[in-house]
């Protein structure tokens, strides 16, 4: 009898251990738009007020050297959803359609038994910014209250689930989307199934003058501080934009804080992965670029915030991870944390070991790029770059163009490229860059037209009826769902 009891007990314990091992956390992914890493209190900014995210940072892990794989909206989002690089998917220009053939985040989580929900800006549909993203093009997200793209924050349109009628949120959109997220959490957190809730808030992207007045009043231009790398001729416009930018940041901080408080109120915080990040930064006059620009390899554009909390974070709460990470690394890492197998299509690294042990791999490199700068940024050189916990290294088709010691020179004002005393460091970074490119099938840095031709974006005559026209640098470009582009 004792033997039988022992066997039953051991079997029960085994089942319990297995259940714990395979238990899958909820995933709440909060993505903002154009929020650079330096515009947060917990990142050392003593002007902008972000009390809710500062509070969240104290119970999360902060990856301070996170870069946007391509600091523009659509390319970042495509890379985030697929775990792949822009030169692999062809998603390196805004307003393109992410093909249904690409295996995406929600499809993977859905196959693993998750409920999937999306709220807010999508910007991956390529059928026009105000058109409905119909259900079959939502890449696995079932619950839906969103729109392709709008920055009309005080009258933002959206579509709801299967309803093809356009609706409007009747308040400042970060607040409205936050309320929708809280409602979803309340209704879906207790039904026994894990969920992936993706919350996409379009602020603090311009227009900056549409932020709530109560927050605009917090930031009188005469009390604002510009970074020392802002050119004199950009200072006036930068100060004007910075007021609204910070106001959007503080208002969005409140909206995000309300979501996190709801998670705690529902007692699901300890069994949830919560991520806060942004798709790219904002130049705000640095290095001579206009305040609203991105695209560039400089930190103002490429360095984005990344906070993550997860079940069992206790010993790492409030810590800083020095290891550099890039956008394709995010999906495989959260899949690993969720006990979901990582598909072979994914090119990013599983960095869950760093998330669990922040001191690991602190010297690793993170690859980012802009193979085809477009629009008003057309004239900047296409580039590939790597960031480490200390350096930023940038290379164009013509060769090495920038090298910065980000520890000694955080505003990247002293270009060290080709200086003899940094020759060994540059050589090492160059080899690491080459290694990363070769790993994703790039044997060299090609010029932009090579990629336009490779993905069929250049010189095509045919296009489908369901297209729209964008204007890149005064060149009319026809974008179809199958990524056909005509240049007239």
Q: Would you name the residues annotated as active-site residues?
A: 73, 123
User: Helices 330-337 and 73-82 sit at what angle, rounded to 10 degrees?
Assistant: 30
**CA-CA distances (angstroms) from residue 391 to 402, 404, 426, 459?**
10, 6, 10, 39
SS3 per-residue string spanning the chain: CHHHHHHHHHHHHHHHHHHHHHCCCEEEEEEEECCCCCCCHHHCCCCCCCHHHHHHHCCCEEECCEECCCCCHHHHHHHHHHCCCHHHHCCCCCCCCCCCCCCCHHHHHHHCCCEEEEEEECCCCCCCCCCCCCHHHCCCCCEEEEECCCCCCCCCEEEECCCCCCEECCCCHHHHHHHHHHHHHHHHCCCCCCEEEEEEEEEECCCHHHCCHHHHCCCCHHHCCCCCCECHHHHHHHHHHHHHHHHHHHHHHHHHHHHHHHHHHCCCHHHEEEEEEECCCCCCCECCCCCCCCCCCCHHHHEECEEEECCCCHHHCCCEECCCEEHHHHHHHHHHHCCCCCCCCCCCCCCHHHHHCCCCCCCCCEEEEECCCCHHHCCCCCEEEEECCCEEEEEECCEEEEEEECCCCCCCCCCCCCCHHHHHHHHHHHHHHHHHHHHCCCCCCCCHHHHHHHCCCCCCCCCCCCCEEEEECCEEEEECCCCCCCEC
Give CA–CA dist 367/228, Å, rounded. Answer: 27
Half-sphere exposure of 256 (CA within 13 A, CB side): 32
The three-class DSSP label of residue 99 is coil
Per the CB < 8 A criterion, the answer to whether 30 and 258 are in contact is no
Three-class secondary structure of residue 3 per DSSP? helix
Q: How far apart are CA 392 and CA 362, in angstroms?
A: 14
């Amino acid at each position: 009898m004792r033997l039988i009891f022992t066997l039953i007990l051991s079997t029960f314990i085994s089942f319990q251990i297995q259940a714990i091992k395979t238990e899958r956390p909820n995933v709440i992914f909060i993505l903002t738009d154009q929020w650079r890493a330096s515009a947060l209190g917990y990142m050392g900014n003593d002007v902008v007020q972000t009390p809710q995210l500062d509070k969240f940072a104290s119970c999360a892990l902060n990856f301070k050297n996170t870069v946007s794989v391509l600091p523009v909206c659509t390319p970042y989002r495509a890379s985030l959803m697929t775990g792949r690089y822009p030169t692999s998917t062809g998603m390196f220009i805004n307003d393109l359609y992410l093909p249904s053939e690409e295996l995406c985040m929600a499809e993977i989580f859905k196959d693993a038994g998750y409920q999937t929900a999306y709220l807010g800006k999508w910007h991956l549909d390529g059928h026009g910014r105000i058109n409905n993203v119909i259900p079959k093009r939502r890449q696995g997200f079932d619950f839906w209250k969103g729109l392709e793209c709008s920055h009309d924050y005080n009258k933002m349109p959206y579509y709801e689930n299967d309803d093809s009628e356009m609706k409007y949120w009747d308040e400042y959109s970060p607040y409205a989307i936050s309320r929708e997220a809280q409602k979803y959490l309340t209704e879906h957190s207790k039904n026994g199934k894990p969920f992936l809730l993706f919350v996409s808030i379009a602020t603090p992207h311009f227009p900056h003058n549409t932020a709530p007045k109560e927050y605009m009043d917090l930031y009188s231009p005469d009390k604002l501080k510009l970074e020392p790398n802002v050119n004199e001729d950009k200072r006036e416009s930068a100060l004007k934009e910075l007021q609204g930018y910070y106001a959007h940041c503080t208002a969005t901080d409140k909206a995000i804080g309300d979501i996190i408080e709801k998670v705690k109120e529902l007692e699901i915080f300890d069994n949830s992965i919560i991520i806060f990040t942004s798709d790219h930064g904002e130049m705000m006059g640095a290095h001579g670029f206009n305040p609203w620009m991105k695209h560039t390899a400089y930190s103002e554009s490429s360095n984005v915030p990344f906070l993550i909390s997860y079940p069992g974070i206790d010993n790492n709460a409030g810590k800083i991870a020095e290891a550099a990470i890039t956008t394709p690394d995010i999906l495989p890492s959260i899949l690993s944390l969720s006990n979901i197998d990582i598909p072979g299509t994914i090119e990013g690294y599983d960095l869950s070991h760093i998330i669990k042990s922040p001191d690991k791999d602190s010297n690793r490199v993170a690859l980012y790029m802009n193979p085809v700068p477009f629009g008003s940024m057309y004239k900047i050189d296409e580039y590939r770059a790597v960031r480490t916990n200390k350096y930023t290294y940038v290379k164009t088709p013509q060769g090495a163009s920038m090298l910065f010691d980000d520890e000694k020179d955080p505003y990247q004002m002293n270009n060290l490229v080709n200086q003899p005393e940094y020759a060994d460091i540059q050589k090492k970074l160059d080899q690491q860059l080459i290694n990363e490119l070769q790993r994703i099938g790039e044997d060299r840095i090609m010029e932009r037209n090579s990629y336009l031709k490779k993905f069929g974006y250049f010189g095509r005559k045919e296009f489908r009826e369901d297209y729209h026209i964008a204007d890149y640098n005064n060149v009319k470009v026809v974008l179809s769902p199958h990524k056909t582009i005509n240049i007239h």
